[in-house]
Amino acid sequence: MSGKWQHPWRVLVVPYYLNRYARQVHVLRVASAFLAGLMLVLASRIPHGGWALVTILIVLGGAPHWGGVRRKAMERMGGSLLGALAGLAAIVLHGASPWLCYAWMLAVVALSGWHAQGRGGYLALLTGITLVIVGGVGDEPINEALWRSCNVLIGSLIGMAAAATLPLRALDSWRFLLADNLREAAMLYNRIARRLPVDGDAALDQFNARLIRLRGLLASVTQESALTHRELDQVQRCQRSIWTLLDRMGEVSASTPALAEDASPRRAIVRTLLRASHALRFNQPQLLAESLPAADNPARMREPTHCHWLVAELSLTVEDLRMQLHAILPRLIEAPPPARSLVRAMRDGGRRR
């Protein structure tokens, strides 16, 4: 029996298993959070408790990774607080003059629509939505408005707690997908260089599919770690270059001399790619310390072929990627667990206020 089934609890704590069974874990997390919210609403009989359940689904439903959940929950709570205050102000103004209340609501909705198109658009949109939920058309009782706001905050906290308990981190998904791509590149290049049978189109299609998924994770990875979007985009560009070089190499390898001879950098490139893949999968940055030997200049060769130029470019690209990962991986390892980062975010937010 495999170790995984001897210790089934590992599926819920080991990042590799969490990502391998991400959909099942996400379903379990949403269902657990909804059940906890439902039990709380039924046990305490909180007025308008349905808004807490709606908020749990909004916070957790469409954002499987911790970075997205945390960002959405923070924006949900911020937008709810601003919208609740605006709604309470609308109720107070309605007592003085209904037209003054409507002018206030129109101004808040206009500002919400303006900022919804820029950064923090979700927060701005929720501010306008919560204004209407809490204040109605200005004639809602204040106690009901306060209960609705309270339920939104409770639902956001339950959603974040569930996400922190079963953390699906984008940075883990990112490094596992990248590790698979580097291993795929090593195997494909090794077979092309040795003129072994290879289904290059299928392998490159898988490589490109992972590359697209990696692109979609960048925003959440920056939320979960200290890395910048520019640093991650440099890794993306290196992968794209490797894909292009392997694609071109596969087209011309049949008409050029084999590149498996001892003088070629094939073994060094394959070894570097495999070591980088292993380093990412098992968080071992020391495997990235060894530099790739300098690429030979094909211009100095007696009879350089097109493949020799491609291999030289591949060697330079792989070395560039190795150096980037050597700088990035230790910072990924240092990224705090979700529970700790949640406490830190709330503490920092309190200090800013």
Give me the domain span that covers residue 219.
170-333
Task: Mark whether 44 and 107 lie in a shared domain.
Answer: yes
* pLDDT tens digit sequence for 171-210: 888 999 999 999 999 998 888 887 777 676 787 888 889 9
Q: Are residues 185 and 76 in the same domain?
A: no
Provide φ and ψ at 9, rounded to 5°. -65, -20
0.85 exceeded by pTM:
no
The single-letter DSSP state of residue 296 is P
102 near 254, Cβ under 8 Å? no
Please give the pLDDT value at position 13. Answer: 62
Both 48 and 92 in one domain: the answer is yes
Q: Are residues 243 and 276 in the same domain?
A: yes
> 235 and 138 in one domain?
no
* Residue 214 backbone class (left: φ over 0; alpha: ψ -120 to 50; beta: rest): alpha
- DSSP for 16-80, please give it: HHHHHTHHHHHHHHHHHHHHHHHHHHHHHT-TTTHHHHHHHHHHHHT--SHHHHHHHHHHHHHHH
Same domain, 160 and 186: no
pLDDT of residue 257: 61
Name the pLDDT band for 324 (thresholds 50, 70, 90): very high
DSSP letters spanning 180-208: HHHHHHHHHHHHHHTT----HHHHHHHHH
Distances (CA, A) of 313 to 208, 240, 261, 264: 19, 13, 18, 13
Examine the domain organization and report whether 176 and 164 are in the same domain: no
Average pLDDT over residues 10-32: 77
Statement to judge: residues 206 and 150 lie in one domain: no
| Cβ proximity of 65 and 171 under 8 Å | no
Residue (of 305, 301, 322, 276) closest to 193 by Cα position: 305
329 and 186 in one domain? yes
Residues 215 and 138 in one domain: no
Q: Domains in the chain: how many in total?
A: 2
| 155 and 16 both lie in a single domain | yes
pLDDT of residue 320: 94
Whether the per-residue pLDDT at 321 is higher than 90: the answer is yes
The verdict on 197 and 157 lying in the same domain is no
